[in-house]
Structure 1
Amino acid sequence: MEMNHINNIDFAKRLQTLEGEVPFDALQRLNALLAMDGVNAQSKIKYQLVGQIQKYQLPSLHLYIDASLPMLCQRCLESMQIPIKLQFDYVISAEMPESLDAIDDMDWVEASVDMDLQALIEDELLIALPIAPVHASLCKQLKFETGEKVNPFSVLKSLKKD
């Protein structure tokens, strides 16, 4: 079952489940931030969307996202993979419920007969991206030198008259 747009209230009330993959090239805003040399034809973002009504006594969605995003290390500028596993709970209603403020682990999504699932996944990935990704260990190409620095003005010392 592959869909990009769903009726989110109907999806939740019917307790439906949707699993799939989104190719990187379908997410243009995310692509602008990725190291495209790390993306190949098989690179995809996996997701699972589960409709619920029991957990919060309101129609709700639970979204799982599993991805490995290629980004540039800000220290060595080499491509690296950032593994991302995300989970979100969304309450669905026409207006944001006031009781939702007390629940920190819950988000709200507006009731829609045409909710764009791909845009929701892209939004959550954009928020989850690290601001300045770096390799966990020291980068391969970096070499730190220690020792005495050569003074660039030492040549002028020979021109000095006694």
Structure 2
Amino acid sequence: MVSARRSFQGSLPIAAMPRLCEALADDAGLAQYQLDFGRDEFGTAYVDVRVQAPLSLVCQRTLDPFIMPVTVESRLGLIRSEREEASLPAGCEPLLIAEDDKLNPIDVIEDELLLALPLVPVNPDSALPEDVTRPPAEPISAEERPDNPFAVLRELKKK
């Protein structure tokens, strides 16, 4: 595929990616993808991955599901051993391929979508529930304040 500079595009059901589905609230929808194989000016084999998918996540602020549109565009340098990683050009992520030179496109797409997931998903349109907001703090009088354990140090500093 690299030598022939092949390109593939299409859609893939999100439900066909089991590792990704474990991190989602729902497995509905389709991922639109395009994979372009080739060699760069240095002779490095690569695959350009472009994926767009509406992923259903659980907002960690409100615990409600929401749809987050994800777009991935990355260049993966195809390497056979970890020693080759240092020779990859800047901006090219390594992708270790099997000894038989076979690559499963679904696994590549799923890996890229997993890497694009936010660590803590938060719906940008969400707000804190009203029962979570705190009332304004009332000032505490000097008599009600607990003893400061560092007050002794302040007195020693004055001497």
* Secondary structure in 2 matching 1:120: helix
Paired residue type of 1:69? L
- Is contact 2:55–2:68 with CA below 8 Å preserved after alignment? yes
Going from structure 1 to structure 2, the CA distance change for 1:91 and 1:147 (only over 3 Å counts) comes to closer
Q: How does 1:116-127 map to 2 (within 5 A)?
A: 116-127=104-115
Q: State the shift of 1:148 in Å.
A: 8.6
Task: Choose from 36, 45, 53 the match for 2:31.
Answer: 45
Task: Mark the CA change 1:148 to 1:54 in structure 2 (over 3 Å): closer, same or farther.
Answer: closer
CA 1:105/1:148 → structure 2, altered by over 3 Å: closer, same or farther? closer
1:72 maps to amino acid? V
CA RMSD of aligned residues (A): 2.3
Q: 1:135 aligns with which of 116, 123, 134?
A: 123
- Structure 2 letter corresponding to 1:31: C
Aligned-partner SS, 2:2: helix
Contact 2:61–2:126 at 8 Å: present in 1 too? no
Assess if the C-alpha contact under 8 Å between 2:25 and 2:56 holds in 1: yes
**Could you tell me how far apart the structure 1 residues matched to 2:42 and 2:67 are?**
36
- SS of 1:71's equivalent in the other structure is strand
In the alignment, structure 1 residue 82 sits paired with structure 2 residue 68? yes
TM-score (norm 2): 0.72
Structure 1, unaligned runs of 5 or more: 1-10, 150-162
Partner AA of 2:56 in structure 1: P
Tell me which residue corresponds to 1:146: 135
Q: How far is 1:147 from its partner?
A: 6.2
1:135 deviation in Å? Answer: 1.9
Higher RCO structure (Cα 8 Å, ≥6 apart) = 1
Q: CA deviation at 1:18?
A: 0.2
The structural deviation recorded for 1:106 is: 0.5
Q: How far did residue 55 of structure 1 move? A: 4.1
What code does the residue aligned with 1:71 have?
L
| AA partner of residue 121 (structure 1) | I
| Alignment: residue pair count | 132
What percentage of aligned pairs have identical amino acids? Answer: 23
Gaps of 5+ in 2: 139-159
The residue matched to 1:124 in structure 2 has which SS?
Answer: helix
CA shift digits 1:67-126 (9 cap, x unpaired): 1111000011111111211111122243342322xx331122326443111111111111
TM-score (norm 1): 0.71
Cα displacement (A) at 1:32: 1.0
State the partner residue of 2:142. none
Pairwise CA distance, 1:146: 3.0
State the alpha-carbon separation in 2 of the partners of residues 70 and 135 from structure 1.
11
Change over 3 Å in CA distance of 1:44–1:55 after alignment to 2: farther
- Shift of the 69–93 alpha-carbon distance from structure 1 to 2, 3 Å rule, reads same
